[in-house]
Amino acid sequence: MRYAAAVTSISSDADPEGGLSAPFRLSITPTAADIDELGHVSNQVYLRYILDAATSHSHAVGLDHAAYLRIGSVFVVRRQTIDYLAPTYAGEDLVVTTWIAEWSAVTSVRRTSLRRIADGREVAKAETLWAMVATEGGRPRRIPADVRAMFARKETA
């Protein structure tokens, strides 16, 4: 599959009013290796796309794995729900849009929408509960204010 950060012209309801981060978009083109025995992109691959978009978003705001290690905590998935809405196939260009919808002391809710570029159809949507845990021992940790600030929606003039 081919990945690239992208801003597309697809109008999307994937950026709800009040989202706590600006939407991050990742363009993906599934390859033959992403296809399951039913002839379409595997559900497991959709999961990978969702996680890859979240990780890419984090990297884009300056929080790669090394940065999380420096603060002594990382985000881990606590719960994930995916609605599969339509099949996709090798060679179809997709855009994965993700954003942070909610924060609590130790968790964030990230929403993700996958759309086929050719027709703008939403093919899957997900909600993921991420928990911040200490790198030593895995205990829950408060999300630092500077981490929240790095993801904060930047208003443009």
> pLDDT by residue (tens digit) across 76-131?
999 999 999 999 999 999 999 999 999 999 999 999 999 999 999 999 999 999 99
4 pLDDT above the threshold of 60: no
Chain position carrying tokens 């855009």 = 95
Structure confidence at residue 66 as a pLDDT band (50, 70, 90): very high
Residue 9 reports pLDDT greater than 90: no
Q: What is the model's pLDDT at position 14?
A: 46
DSSP notation for 42-105: -HHHHHHHHHHHHHHHHHHTT--HHHHHHHTEEEEEEEEEEEE-S---TT--EEEEEEEEEE-S
| Whether residue 155 has pLDDT greater than 70 | no
CA–CA gap between residue 8 and residue 157 (Å, rounded)? 21
Residue 156: pLDDT over 90: no
Predicted local distance difference test score (pLDDT) of residue 11: 35
Residue in 10, 17, 94, 112 with CA at minimum distance from that of residue 55: 112
pTM across the whole model:
0.86
Contact (Cβ atoms closer than 8 angstroms) between residue 89 and residue 39 = yes
Query: Phi/psi at 60 (nearest 5 deg)?
Result: -65, -30
Across all residues in the chain, what is the average pLDDT? Answer: 89
